[in-house]
């Protein structure tokens, strides 16, 4: 059974970098039938897919245009986890952030991490 465990700070100052990690158990970040995603949720934006990393003989990333200039998602094979970095945050980036596995065969998200409320405030 795959489980995702998120970690990272819940408060980030404006203009700084938001950093979260998602540890995977029960599967491998190198699974070539999966992708590893970050999704956020806020009252103003609803559920917003931010991006993903996946392995197909080499590592690939896809990012949402809305954050493409500020986002990095990296796999860490030694720890079997992946991370999110979002630079130059503003209060508009305040949201609950989720990591989620994407099953490529069926095009579905699941499981999800527990969610992390990240507040951008000085």
Partner 1 sequence: DIQMTQSPSSLSASVGDRVTITCRASQTTSNYLNWYQQKPGKAPKLLIYTASSLQSGVPSRFSGSGSGTDFTLTISSLQPEDFATYYCQQSSTIPLTFGGGTKVEIK
Chosen residue from 46, 57, 69, 121 binding partner 1 by CB under 8 A? 46
- Asked if 76 interacts with partner 1 (CB under 8 A), we say no
- Asked if 107 interacts with partner 1 (CB under 8 A), we say yes
Evaluate whether 6 touches 82 at the Cβ level (below 8 Å): no
- Asked if 43 interacts with partner 1 (CB under 8 A), we say no
- Positions touching partner 1 (CB under 8 A) are 37, 46-49, 62, 64-65, 98, 100, 102, 106-110, 112-115
């Amino acid at each position: 059974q795959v489980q995702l465990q998120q970690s990272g700070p819940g408060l980030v100052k404006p203009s700084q970098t938001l950093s979260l990690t998602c540890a995977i158990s029960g599967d491998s970040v190198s699974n070539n039938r999966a992708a590893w995603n970050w999704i956020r949720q806020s009252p103003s934006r609803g559920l917003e897919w931010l991006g993903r990393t996946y392995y197909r003989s080499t590592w690939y990333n896809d990012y949402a245009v809305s954050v493409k200039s500020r986002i990095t998602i990296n796999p860490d094979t030694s720890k079997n986890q992946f991370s999110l970095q979002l630079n130059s945050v503003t209060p508009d980036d305040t949201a609950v952030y989720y990591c989620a596995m994407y099953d490529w065969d069926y095009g579905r998200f699941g499981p999800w991490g527990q969610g992390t409320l990240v507040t951008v405030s000085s």
